Chains A and B, each alone.
Chain A
């Protein structure tokens, strides 16, 4: 059974820099691109960014709203993907989901349960 489990969410003050983790099991992690998608309370899905598998270069792409503030990295030896969030703003408050897609520019087969990040003083 494939599982994606996000962690690291919680109440964070504006300007702080937490890191989210997404620990996976049951899939050939190295073959998958990993995405982060967020959902503000009562709103729709917003893509945050993704990191390619090593086969496709292992590079990351980001949404304009977070580019320069957020960084995605992966540790294939641990089957974990990270989202480093810097200089958080109140508008970054959302449930953050990680998802997995096989190959390049593909669809998300698997999703985690999400972790809520609340940015507030």
Chain B
């Protein structure tokens, strides 16, 4: 079965750039979405179709996808961005989530 791999944790200082990767076989051939989940809350879509931001998502969130790796980039990271982030792609009519990355802003 298809698998997406994310680092368990990423740390960033306020105002710096955070990058969260998501790896999968030929992932660049698929569309990747990214979801943010804060403790006790439901996931929120922050990036879809590799690099598109839904309305209401700050411009500091961006995405890219090429080869075997998709990347979520948060520029000028703020304390409010501390959360778990999940990548997601479709493979053979199956929705696949990455294991999630805990972003710590310190």
Contacts and interface: CB of A to CB of B under 8 A. Distances in A.
Interface of A: 35, 37, 44-47, 50, 61, 63-64, 97, 99, 105-109, 111-114
24 contacts: A37-B97, A44-B84, A44-B86, A44-B97, A44-B98, A45-B35, A45-B88, A45-B97, A45-B100, A47-B97, A50-B95, A63-B94, A64-B1, A97-B42, A97-B43, A106-B48, A107-B33, A107-B45, A107-B48, A107-B88, A108-B33, A108-B35, A108-B43, A113-B42
B28 to A, nearest CB: 17
Contacts of B43: 37, 45, 97, 99, 108, 111
Contacts of B37: 45
Q: Which of B31, B35, B42 has most chain A Cβ within 10 Å?
A: B42
Interface string B32-44: 0101010000111
B12 to A, nearest CB: 20
A99 B42 CA distance: 10
A108 to B, nearest CB: 6
- Chain B's interface size range is 20 to 34
A114 B43 CA distance: 10
Contacts of A97: 42-43
Contacts of B98: 44
A44 B8 CA distance: 11
Contacts of A61: 93-94
Given A97-B42, A107-B49, A108-B45, A35 B97 contact: no
A112 B48 CA distance: 18
B54 to A, nearest CB: 7
A44 B100 contact: yes
Interface string B79-106: 0000010101010011111111000000
A45 B6 CA distance: 13
Interface in B26-69: 31, 33, 35, 37, 42-45, 48-49, 54
